[in-house]
Structure 1
Amino acid sequence: MNITLRICLALLISISSILLVVGYLGGFSTPDLIPRTLSLSKPSAEPSPTSAGLTINLPAIVAPVDDGARFYYVQANLAVEIDRPATATIIRERHDQIDRYIMEMLHTYPVQDLRVPGQSVTLREDLKRTVNKLLPKGKGQVRNVYITNWLMTPVGS
């Protein structure tokens, strides 16, 4: 064998061995990076106010609105966060009434407020209040309303 090949192999093996030893010893010198004991915090008995509840999607709502000069259709898809599973049944039973009240509420809003990107918190609060007004007291409530899709289309030319 050639002498330069032997020197290259010896050098390669030496460097590899040094890197392995340094890497092995380096793992023992950093005990603060990985704690040896794990501790679990005790969960609080009270649920946090930001914990997500059960969310259901309502069928699309199409409401006519106008600004005095032009008519528009607002198509909204809503998801409601409810406090318990039984509330979903009540909402399904009263969907026609809820749909009608939401359409009436949207009709009272000024068109320029409905065209704001991102939808205002006031609109979401009004939607929540409208749905909760139609649910029986003590039998369930909507915690939050999410607008999952919003489309405002002018009618005519």
Structure 2
Amino acid sequence: MGGKATRAELQRMAQLWAEGRSIAEIGEIMGRSRSAICGYAHRNRDLFGPRSQSQAPELKVSVAGASTIARPAASEAKLVRPHFPEDPKLALEAHRYDLDKHALPGITPVPFRDLESGQCKFALQPVHQTCGPDTPFCAAPTDGGPYCPAHRAVVYVKRGEGEAQ
């Protein structure tokens, strides 16, 4: 097949998609590559709806001659925020990224929207907080790079220097 797909071919691909067929299976049936099917699905989102958890591919598992069909559990599909145990090394890492200690004396932080060329682009707000146009940045003068010399030393650590012994 190859080339541009006709409307009828796109509808057939969308039908196979809705049946829960894998992209590789659709490509094999339609005589197209897996990448081509991905492209058609991406460009024709009105035809290729999102896949629900119930349409997850089935995994055939055979144990001692008996075959069963396994689906990923609904809980496995959810993204879980990692929980970090109370560990002294992690506490040291958290302190390393305590951004209040990185504000330079005599330099007034500037919101992101007011930053200009030649000003330090070191954010003075932790990444896990919501960032936006009001996020404070260092704004100290730079020597052509994105960071002032003080923050360049924080961002670019030589191998072996920042590692715990």
Normalising by structure 1, what TM-score? 0.23
Higher helix residue share: 1
User: Which has the higher Rg, Structure 1 or Structure 2?
Assistant: 1
Higher strand residue share: 1
